[in-house]
């Protein structure tokens, strides 16, 4: 499975962005997908994950109520809608996929290349 993350950019605080994670090579409809981020000088951290069916989602506390993860199986794509963005959301965002269950830990088999999100104050 090859993952392509896109949708990052520069946005003012309070603005919105939608990240996409598109899979190629094979369908990942039976895979859980997670989003992680890494800010400059910091370790990679969990943001959100969705299970294979889309019926279960999890978020880190700092993004609850602002970010929404979803998946479009026919398009083989997972989205991360980010609203009410804050400067502390600035980071490179990575998507990742794994068979079977979701995980808040970076125990994923496949990783995308990352997309940069910059939120200005």
The tens digit of pLDDT for each residue in 37-92 reads 999 999 999 999 999 988 999 999 999 999 999 999 999 999 999 999 999 999 99
Q: Using an 8 Å Cβ cutoff, are 39 and 114 in contact? A: no
- Percentage of the chain surpassing pLDDT 90? 83
- pLDDT band at residue 34 under the 50/70/90 scheme: very high
CB atoms within 10 A of CB 117: 22
Indicate if the pLDDT at residue 32 is higher than 90. Answer: yes
Helix (H) or strand (E) holding 114: none
- pLDDT of the residue at 25: 82
Residue with tokens 């090859």: 2
- pLDDT band at residue 111 under the 50/70/90 scheme: very high
- pLDDT of the residue at 26: 76
- pLDDT of the residue at 90: 98
Q: Using an 8 Å Cβ cutoff, are 67 and 60 in contact? A: no
Q: Which two tokens stand for residue 39?
A: 């800010």
Query: Cα separation of 70 and 55, whole Å?
Result: 9
The mean of the pLDDT values for the chain is: 95
With vertex at residue 5, the alpha carbon angle to CA 94 and CA 25, rounded to the nearest 5 degrees, is 110
């Amino acid at each position: 499975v090859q993952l392509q993350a896109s949708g990052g950019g520069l946005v003012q605080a309070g603005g919105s962005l939608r990240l996409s994670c598109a899979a190629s090579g094979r369908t990942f409809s039976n895979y859980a997908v997670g989003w992680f981020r890494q800010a400059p000088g910091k370790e990679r951290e969990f943001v959100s994950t969705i299970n294979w069916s889309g019926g279960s989602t999890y978020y880190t506390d700092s993004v609850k109520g602002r970010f929404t993860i979803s998946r479009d199986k026919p398009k083989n794509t997972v989205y991360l809608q980010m609203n009410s963005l804050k400067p502390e959301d600035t980071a490179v965002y990575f998507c990742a996929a794994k068979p079977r269950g979701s995980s808040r830990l970076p125990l994923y088999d496949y990783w995308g290349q990352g997309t940069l999100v910059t939120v200005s104050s």
